[in-house]
Amino acid sequence: MTEQTAGRRVVINMSLSLDGHYAGPRPEDNSWVMPYAHTDVARDHMAGVHEAATTALLGRVNAEGFLGFWPTVIGVEGVDPRDEGFAQWLLDTEKVVLSSTLDKAPWERTTLVDRPTAEVVADLKATEGGDILVLNSASVIKALLAADQVDRLALTVFPVFLGGGPRLFDDGLPTGRWTLAAQSAGEHGTLSLIYDRVR
């Protein structure tokens, strides 16, 4: 039986290859994601994941990448409405960026924090609001998994072997059970999998 988490949920979103990597041997190369990120399954997945979230939690690298790209799709002719909806949500929502190097937030509604991830999330969970969504920031996600602070895993799995590169799930994570809350499959074998932590 799944016990409902009191208060805010911590939801992590990550894309994985079929052989379990979130990036290939050259982490800066995201070309493997592109054929699958534009499928209906992937777009519907993102639309569903951010729907209940009122805070985006990001590491510095992903924050710079996401906030450098997504605002540019708003108002562009022919853009998928799901992409534009996510971009608008990202602009409008509260953003918390974990960084030890940034000293000024270049984006509106953004708070910079230089503290351990687990402490930041504990503080966020003590406030009012919807889900706390961690968007593809591997270092942040790994810290939360290690601290057993993740309430929902939102994964898109793309049917490609990368043959190497960093993995999301390291050895030594706390033991625990998860229940499948939603699943869908579509074009090119793209999977959307949502798991809730059983506590």
43, containing H or E segment:
helix 40-51
Give me the domain span that covers residue 60.
10-198
Considering the domain boundaries, does residue 3 fall inside one? no
Considering the domain boundaries, does residue 4 fall inside one? no
Sequence letter at residue 80: D
Determine contact, residues 12/155, Cβ cutoff 8 Å: no
Considering the domain boundaries, does residue 135 fall inside one? yes
**CA distance linking residue 169 with residue 153, whole number of Å:** 12
β-bridge pairing 110-113 and 191-198: unpaired
Which DSSP string corresponds to 81-98?
HHHHHHHHHHHHSEEEEE
pLDDT score of 4: 42
CATH of the domain at 77: 3.40.430.10
Please state the domain count of the chain: 1
**CA distance linking residue 115 with residue 99, whole number of Å:** 8
This prediction's pTM: 0.91
Tell me 188's DSSP state.
Answer: G
Considering the domain boundaries, does residue 172 fall inside one? yes
pLDDT score of 2: 39
Exposure class string for 19-46: b at 16+ Cβ within 10 A, else e = eebbbbeeeeeeebbeebbebebbbebb
Name the stretches of the chain with pLDDT < 70: 1-6
For the chain, the distance separating the N- and C-terminal CA atoms, rounded to the nearest angstrom, is: 9
133, containing H or E segment:
strand 131-135
pLDDT score of 6: 57
Considering the domain boundaries, does residue 140 fall inside one? yes
Considering the domain boundaries, does residue 147 fall inside one? yes
* pLDDT tens string 56-112: 999 988 888 888 888 888 999 999 999 999 999 999 999 999 999 988 887 889 999
